Structure 1
Amino acid sequence: MTVIELRINEIAQGFLTGEQGNLWFSNLNAAAKSETLRSLSRFVVQSHPTNDEVSRAIFESGLNPNFTPCVLISKLELKSALHKINLLPDIEMDKSWYLLISLFAISDSRRRSVSCVNGCKHWWHNLKSV
């Protein structure tokens, strides 16, 4: 597990506040932000978000639904949208972060409470033991 993977999951599961997560992300350089967004995208895919969760994430992120990452995630197939989001220019990284961390927090929470309620082998669901 990398530091980035751990931090993403600490934020998504509420071990760190959203504000702390946003501050952490904003202090990364562009290369580290890009790496973080790629890692976060992989987690989003694994959490299998629903269309309702995508809509909720756009709302909860506080972003304008017309911002590029929001349009991409709501209009395209998930993997294609994430690929395009990861290709956006640096100026879009913070917006992409707000959206994707919100989406992962929502969809992974559902997954932990439904699919993994009786235990699982997803290391990121067992942060208390880390």
Structure 2
Amino acid sequence: MTGPSSDDGRTLRRETEGVVNEIAQGLRTLDDGTGWFSGLAPARRQEVLQEVASYAMQAHITAADGRAGVARSGVKPTANPSVMICMDPPRYGFASLPSTEHVKAFRVLVSVFAVADTRRRTMYCKGDCGHAWHNLPAATEQP
């Protein structure tokens, strides 16, 4: 048996990017995204957690973003992923958490990313943004 091809990896990254950015922009609910994530195989979940952690790093999350995101995530502030993201600096080893923590980690990461990305879109990309992921069509504009 062989592992996933690089094409499968690219497809998963594109799908992850779409799901996460739709959640961040209010075009998809966190629960819908969590349902998508829960349907993935365990190895794929780890890949997604690594990818979403990199989005959070690129969004330059702050400790305040971490606290606000945890509050939005529905995950207890004392859960491992919540504690990790609120550290200063945040810890990003979410894919290494036990599989029983992966859904919590996804909810926390996506929620924190949504907070940080919204701040960055508002402050730095307002009206003149060339980032394709910041210019998703509204739900009524989608085919």
TM over 0.5: yes
Give the corresponding residue for 2:10.
none
Matched to 2:125, the amino acid is C
Percent of pairs with identical residues: 35
CA displacement, residues 96-130 of structure 1 (integer Å, 9 cap, x when unaligned): 01100100111101110111103223221122299
Q: CA RMSD in A?
A: 1.8
4+ aligned runs moved over 3 Å, structure 1? none
Greater RCO structure (CA 8 Å; 6+ sep): 1
Higher helix share: 1
Count of residue pairs the alignment pairs up: 127
Bigger CA radius of gyration: 2
Match among 7, 23, 26 for residue 38 of structure 2: 26
CA displacement, residues 17-63 of structure 1 (integer Å, 9 cap, x when unaligned): 12211111111111121111111111111111222111111111121
- Which deviates further from its counterpart, 118-127 or 9-18? 118-127
State the TM-score, normalized to the length of structure 1. Answer: 0.88
Instruction: Show structure 1 runs of 5+ residues with no match.
Output: none
Instruction: Show structure 2 runs of 5+ residues with no match.
Output: 1-12
State the TM-score, normalized to the length of structure 2. Answer: 0.80
